[in-house]
A and B are shown apart, each in its own frame.
Chain A
Amino acid sequence: MLQLLWLVPALPFAGFVLLALSGRRLPDRWVPFIGVGSVGLSLLAAVLVATSFLAAPPPGYAYSQTLWTWMSVGSFTPGITLYLDALSLVMVVVVTFVGFFIHLYSAEFMAGGEGYGRFFAYMNLFVGSMLTLVLASNLLLLYLGWEGVGLCSYLLIGFWYQDSYNGYAARKAFVVTRVGDAALAIGLFLIFNSLGTLEIQDLMRRAAQQWAPGSALALSAAALLLVGALGKSAQLPLQTWLPDAMAGPTPVSALIHAATMVTAGVYLIARTNVLFALAPAVQLAVAVIGAVTLLLAGFSALTQWDIKRVLAYSTISQIGYMFLALGVGAWTAAIFHFMTHAFFKSLLFLAAGVVIMSLDEEHDMFKMGGLRRSLPLAFWTFLVGAASLSALPLVTAGGYSKESILYQAWAGQAGSPWLWAVGIAGAFLTGMYSFRMVFLTFFGEMKQQPSKKPSIDIGIPLVVLAALSIAGGYIDLPRTLGNLPILSSFLQNTLPPTVIAQPAIDTELVLGVIAGVVPLIGIYFAYLLFFQRRPAYADGPTRVARGGPLYRLWFAGWGFDWLYDRLIVRPFVWAARADKDDVIDSVYDGITRLNVVFNNLLSGTESGRVRWYAAGIALGAVVVIAIGVFA
């Protein structure tokens, strides 16, 4: 059954081709059959492949399928080769699974709008590209998928292109991620130049042999890959595009900007973990960037009024946790958090989408409220998602994955109490902003009657994802709770195991309890501030809530947009304006002008007077003779 692997990315691509070629000729009622069906079949193929992979693991715990040779230039022969191991298997299953349910949801959510077929064409192309990215056996194919998902992200953010703001957001996302993509491309050149291959497994083997740990080559290669990952995963300092990317339709935010594409950076780092292990400084940078990002984004999430922007900042923050995990060498914990995050964050987006849709495109949480009774399904699923996001202990998937990251941030090889403290502070913030959303949206007085109710197509994905947001955590139980790390031990067939410096069970227990209690405190604060609205408890925080300078700073995402605008955009626009007539061109213009001047000079001598001509001839003759005589 492993031979079916090629079908997994091929089916969404086929769906894209069908939808793109049929265009508007296809009636809208047929579109979901192709659009959702292709991803459904892809999910089926992925499940079949996964079952046979688990039932009879291939030798070396990896299966590779070469479809054809992409190109052949000297010794450079990258193949269209799919590579399935524990890591890519987890990614493939999560991507197809979440992807399928979001497609199902979109079938109802996007119905009736303009460009229904176009939407599904882009979505299918996205899923195909994402699967290419995770299944690629060489970095070049990975890069193809990487650019493919970037393209789809651009197309889908600007899906409602009549509104010029959406186009702006799409361009911003494209340009900012391009910074990272350029670094990634240079990293690829560097790796190929120095190791002579782009096959991921080969290059990691050769790097381990040829590069000394901490050598300049290893550091620069890892740093370049890291910058690529930062752009795609919206981490500091390239995080500014993600909140604006919320201009796209809600299912797009759920699929691309929460569950899958933005975690491509996490996947890239996990995939090339050997390079990062060879560059300890860069790996530390990964952890620090993740920690700082998760904190900054957490504060920003606390101040947004647009429900989708809260979720966007929380996505940045949660990916910050994954980076933190990668940085301290907790490879499996990062992938575990990727998985649970994919479930609960897409759930949150989809439930928020229901709220937004039923309130006629209302994004402002302060204009919502009291929707608990009128939208019960959205309320309960959103509550589950928020609980999982804020990592409630024991009962939610997010609780398990975040607890494992926090423990390893403390006890892991590269971990430190500082990183742990930042993570705990982030967990507090997460609990607070998650339940701020819940209280503002679903509790309090009702401000607007919902105009429509979600249908069954929307209900199924919500319920399934809610179930997984709870149950998804039980596949990796820590030592303190049953000691059943199924996912971790499976992933360790591919990823290096986490080294715990001093594996003391009571430390783990204490840390686990703290990690479990802190989100609850955050939720309690949210309860006081946004449910009871007690001013006595919240002198400091309400100043924040009422629009002090700090509030404005957080609301604007710490002013990064402002900074980049002053630092990069304006000087660039100024230079472009100054160079409107092209400075380089003036050289060529000058040559032309000089020629015209000579031409005028010489044509002035053509006076039509015979005597002048005679004089010219005489002078010329004298000159020629003089040259002949004297030279």
Chain B
Amino acid sequence: MIAAVPMAHGLILAGCLFAIGLIGVLVRRDIIFVLASIEIMLNASGLAFVVAGSRWGQPDGQIMFIFILTMAATEVSVGLALALQLHGRLRTLDIDAASKMRG
């Protein structure tokens, strides 16, 4: 058995990944990159679950990760459909162009 990675390291990594993903969502304008950044955030939270599960020796963390993967898959399908719609209607992938619904 490989020596256990300290929990703090795992959580810091998860936090860094989440921050990177969030910054990506906020900064990038291309919808593909935004979706990719959301993936990173989802995986960061999945990592946090897995690390926590390993810390307590419980399988729950890994079960939660399966859920997150499932949700990520559905999210990507919806996201790609949106990307197609965006491109089809506006001839661009810039999400700021899709701001017609403002109040």
B26 with A606: CB separation less than 8 A:
no
Task: Judge whether A614 is part of the interface by a CB distance below 8 angstroms.
Answer: yes
B26 with A610: CB separation less than 8 A:
no
Task: Judge whether A573 is part of the interface by a CB distance below 8 angstroms.
Answer: no
B26 with A608: CB separation less than 8 A:
no
A609 with B99: CB separation less than 8 A:
yes
Task: Judge whether A464 is part of the interface by a CB distance below 8 angstroms.
Answer: no
Interface 0/1 of A580-623, CB less than 8 Å to B? 00000000000000000000000100111111001100100000
A609 with B26: CB separation less than 8 A:
no
Q: For residue B101, which residue of chain A has the nearest CB?
A: A608
A614 with B26: CB separation less than 8 A:
yes
Task: Judge whether B96 is part of the interface by a CB distance below 8 angstroms.
Answer: yes
Q: How large is the interface on A (under 10, 10 to 19, 20 to 34, 35 or more residues)?
A: 10 to 19
A608 with B99: CB separation less than 8 A:
yes
A610–B26 CA distance with the chains assembled, in angstroms: 9
List of A residues within 8 angstroms of B9 by Cβ: none
B95 with A611: CB separation less than 8 A:
yes
Contacts A618-B22, A618-B26 hold; do A608 and B95 have CB atoms under 8 A apart?
no
Name the residue in B22, B95, B100, B102 with the highest tally of chain A Cβ atoms < 10 Å from its Cβ. B102
A618–B21 CA distance with the chains assembled, in angstroms: 12
Q: For residue B97, which residue of chain A has the nearest CB?
A: A609
List of A residues within 8 angstroms of B99 by Cβ: 607-610
A618–B27 CA distance with the chains assembled, in angstroms: 13
CB distance from B45 to the nearest CB of A (A): 12
A609–B96 CA distance with the chains assembled, in angstroms: 5
CB distance from B35 to the nearest CB of A (A): 12
Task: Judge whether B103 is part of the interface by a CB distance below 8 angstroms.
Answer: yes
List of B residues within 8 angstroms of A615 by Cβ: 26
Interface 0/1 of B25-47, CB less than 8 Å to A? 11101000010000000000000
A606 with B102: CB separation less than 8 A:
yes
A609–B95 CA distance with the chains assembled, in angstroms: 7
A614 with B102: CB separation less than 8 A:
no
Task: Judge whether B80 is part of the interface by a CB distance below 8 angstroms.
Answer: no
List of A residues within 8 angstroms of B103 by Cβ: 603, 606, 608
B96 with A611: CB separation less than 8 A:
yes
A615–B34 CA distance with the chains assembled, in angstroms: 13
Name B33-81 residues within 8 Å CB distance of A: 34
List of A residues within 8 angstroms of B7 by Cβ: none
CB distance from A602 to the nearest CB of B (A): 9
Q: For residue A614, which residue of chain B has the nearest CB?
A: B25
CB distance from B26 to the nearest CB of A (A): 5
A610 with B102: CB separation less than 8 A:
no
List of A residues within 8 angstroms of B101 by Cβ: 608
CB distance from A613 to the nearest CB of B (A): 10
A144–B22 CA distance with the chains assembled, in angstroms: 81
A608 with B25: CB separation less than 8 A:
no
List of A residues within 8 angstroms of B26 by Cβ: 611, 614-615, 618
CB distance from A148 to the nearest CB of B (A): 62
Interface 0/1 of B86-103, CB less than 8 Å to A? 000000000110111111
CB distance from A611 to the nearest CB of B (A): 6
A614–B41 CA distance with the chains assembled, in angstroms: 13
Q: For residue B102, which residue of chain A has the nearest CB?
A: A608
List of A residues within 8 angstroms of B96 by Cβ: 609, 611
CB distance from A145 to the nearest CB of B (A): 66
Q: For residue B38, which residue of chain A has the nearest CB?
A: A614
List of A residues within 8 angstroms of B29 by Cβ: 611
Name the residue in A606, A611, A615 with the highest tally of chain B Cβ atoms < 10 Å from its Cβ. A611
A291–B63 CA distance with the chains assembled, in angstroms: 108
List of B residues within 8 angstroms of A609 by Cβ: 95-96, 99, 102
A608–B101 CA distance with the chains assembled, in angstroms: 5
List of B residues within 8 angstroms of A603 by Cβ: 103
CB distance from A312 to the nearest CB of B (A): 72
A556–B65 CA distance with the chains assembled, in angstroms: 102
A455–B25 CA distance with the chains assembled, in angstroms: 107
CB distance from A199 to the nearest CB of B (A): 70
List of B residues within 8 angstroms of A610 by Cβ: 34, 95, 98-99
A608 with B100: CB separation less than 8 A:
yes
Q: For residue A611, which residue of chain B has the nearest CB?
A: B26
A607 with B102: CB separation less than 8 A:
yes
List of A residues within 8 angstroms of B100 by Cβ: 608
A615–B103 CA distance with the chains assembled, in angstroms: 18
CB distance from B17 to the nearest CB of A (A): 15
A607–B27 CA distance with the chains assembled, in angstroms: 16
B25 with A611: CB separation less than 8 A:
yes
CB distance from A608 to the nearest CB of B (A): 3
CB distance from B97 to the nearest CB of A (A): 10
CB distance from A190 to the nearest CB of B (A): 62
A615–B22 CA distance with the chains assembled, in angstroms: 9
Q: For residue B103, which residue of chain A has the nearest CB?
A: A606
List of B residues within 8 angstroms of A607 by Cβ: 99, 102
A606–B100 CA distance with the chains assembled, in angstroms: 11
Q: For residue B95, which residue of chain A has the nearest CB?
A: A610
CB distance from A603 to the nearest CB of B (A): 5
A607–B100 CA distance with the chains assembled, in angstroms: 9
Name the residue in A603, A606, A609, A615 with the highest tally of chain B Cβ atoms < 10 Å from its Cβ. A609
Q: For residue A618, which residue of chain B has the nearest CB?
A: B22
A609–B27 CA distance with the chains assembled, in angstroms: 12
A618–B41 CA distance with the chains assembled, in angstroms: 12
A603–B22 CA distance with the chains assembled, in angstroms: 25
Instruction: Other than A611-B29, A611-B95, A611-B96, give 14 A-B pairs with Cβ distance below 8 A.
Output: A603-B103, A606-B102, A606-B103, A608-B98, A608-B99, A608-B100, A608-B101, A608-B103, A609-B95, A609-B102, A610-B95, A610-B99, A611-B27, A618-B26
Listed by A's residue number, 11 A-B pairs whose Cβ atoms lie within 8 Å are A603-B103, A606-B103, A607-B102, A608-B98, A608-B99, A609-B96, A609-B102, A611-B26, A611-B34, A611-B95, A614-B25
The 4 closest A-B pairs by CB, nearest first: A608-B102, A608-B99, A606-B103, A609-B99
